[in-house]
C-alpha cells in the first residue's frame, strides 16, 4: 500500500512537471500577460509580458501574490465567484473584462481569459489566466460615449430638425424638433423611409438628388427643398441639408 501511495504521488508530480514544461513554452512566447494560479489563487508563475503589464518582478509574484492582490476592489467579488466556479467544474473557460491594479496602484482595464489545467486523472492543477491590456480601447470608448452624449444633447436642444438615415434612406434618428414641426412622434418615424414622409412632388425631387449623388465620384453636400407630410394632414415645406457620412 505504501508503494502504491508513493507511485501515485510520483505520477502526480510527473504530470505536474510535464504540464509545467508545456506551459513554460506558452509563458515564454505569449504576446499577452499569462499567469498560473493554484486552487487558493496564489500565483505559481507569470510571464515577462505579465510583469511589464502589472509592474511586479517575477520573483515578487511567484508564490507571493494572490489574484486578489492585482484585482480592483470593485471586481473582487465577481472574479472570486468566477474562480470558484472554474475550480468546481461549473465552467471550463471564460473571457471577461475587468479592472486590475498595478504595483504602483494605477488601475487599468484588461480582458482576461481563464481556463483550468488538469492532470491525467482529471484533478485540477492550475488556473491559467491570459490578460490583454484594453485600457486604451476603454478610453476611446469612453470618449466616444461622451461625444455621442454631447451630440445628442445638442440635437435635442436645437430648433433645427435633425435626422439620421441609413443607406436605404430609412430614419434611424430624429430629434424633438421634427415632432414639434410635423406632429409625428419619433417612434412613428424611425424605421420608415424618407419617401414615405414626402408628398409626390417631394419624392420626385428626392429621386433627382439621390441620382446626382449616385453619379458623383465624391460625396457631396446637397441642399434642396421638398414638401413633407404632417400628422394632422397638412403639409410643410422644408429645406434639407444632406451630408453623406
How far apart are alpha carbons 115 and 99 in whole angstroms? 19
How far apart are alpha carbons 59 and 244 in whole angstroms? 57
Say what the pLDDT of residue 214 is: 80
What's the alpha-carbon Rg for the chain, to the nearest Å? 30
**C-alpha cell at position 69:** 492582490
pLDDT value at 40 more than 70: yes
**Digit-coded pLDDT (tens) for 49-85:** 999 999 999 999 999 999 999 999 999 888 888 888 8
Say what the pLDDT of residue 178 is: 93
* Exposed / middle / buried, residue 202 (Cβ in 10 Å: 0-12, 13-18, 19+): buried
Measured distance between the N- and C-terminal CA atoms of the chain, rounded to whole angstroms: 77
pLDDT value at 133 more than 90: yes
Q: CB–CB of 46/130 below 8 Å?
A: no
Of 29-33, 45-49, 57-61, give the lowest mean pLDDT range.
29-33
Say what the pLDDT of residue 53 is: 94
pLDDT value at 11 more than 70: no
The verdict on pTM exceeding 0.85 is no
Q: What percent of the chain has pLDDT over 90?
A: 49
**C-alpha cell at position 78:** 465577481
Smallest Cα–Cα separation from 230: which of 209, 210, 202, 211? Answer: 202
How far apart are alpha carbons 58 and 241 in whole angstroms? 61
pLDDT tier, 89 (very low <50, low <70, confident <90, very high otherwise)? confident
pLDDT value at 205 more than 80: yes
Average pLDDT over all residues of the chain? 87
How far apart are alpha carbons 115 and 87 in whole angstroms? 10
Which carries the bigger pLDDT value, residue 201 or residue 119?
201
Amino acid at each position: 500500500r505504501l508503494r502504491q501511495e508513493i507511485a501515485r504521488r510520483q505520477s502526480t508530480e510527473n504530470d505536474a512537471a510535464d504540464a509545467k514544461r508545456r506551459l513554460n513554452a506558452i509563458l515564454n512566447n505569449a504576446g499577452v500577460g499569462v499567469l498560473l494560479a493554484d486552487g487558493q489563487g496564489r500565483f505559481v508563475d507569470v510571464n515577462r509580458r505579465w510583469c511589464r503589464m502589472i509592474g511586479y518582478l517575477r520573483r515578487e509574484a511567484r508564490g507571493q501574490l494572490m489574484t486578489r492582490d492585482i484585482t480592483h476592489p470593485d471586481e473582487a467579488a465577481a472574479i472570486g465567484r468566477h474562480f470558484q466556479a472554474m475550480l468546481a467544474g461549473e465552467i471550463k473557460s471564460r473571457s471577461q473584462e475587468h479592472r486590475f491594479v498595478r504595483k504602483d496602484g494605477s488601475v487599468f482595464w484588461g480582458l482576461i481569459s481563464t481556463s483550468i489545467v488538469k492532470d491525467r486523472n482529471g484533478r485540477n492543477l492550475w488556473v491559467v489566466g491570459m490578460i490583454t491590456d484594453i485600457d486604451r480601447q476603454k478610453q476611446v470608448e469612453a470618449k466616444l460615449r461622451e461625444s455621442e452624449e454631447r451630440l445628442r444633447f445638442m440635437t435635442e436642444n436645437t430648433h433645427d430638425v435633425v435626422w439620421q438615415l441609413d443607406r436605404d434612406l430609412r430614419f434611424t434618428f430624429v430629434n424633438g424638433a421634427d415632432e414639434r414641426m410635423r406632429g409625428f412622434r419619433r417612434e412613428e418615424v424611425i424605421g420608415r423611409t424618407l419617401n414615405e414622409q414626402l408628398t409626390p412632388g417631394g419624392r420626385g425631387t428626392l429621386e433627382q438628388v439621390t441620382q446626382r449623388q449616385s453619379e458623383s465620384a465624391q460625396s457631396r453636400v446637397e441642399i434642396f427643398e421638398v414638401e413633407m407630410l404632417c400628422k394632422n394632414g397638412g403639409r410643410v415645406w422644408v429645406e434639407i441639408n444632406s451630408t453623406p457620412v
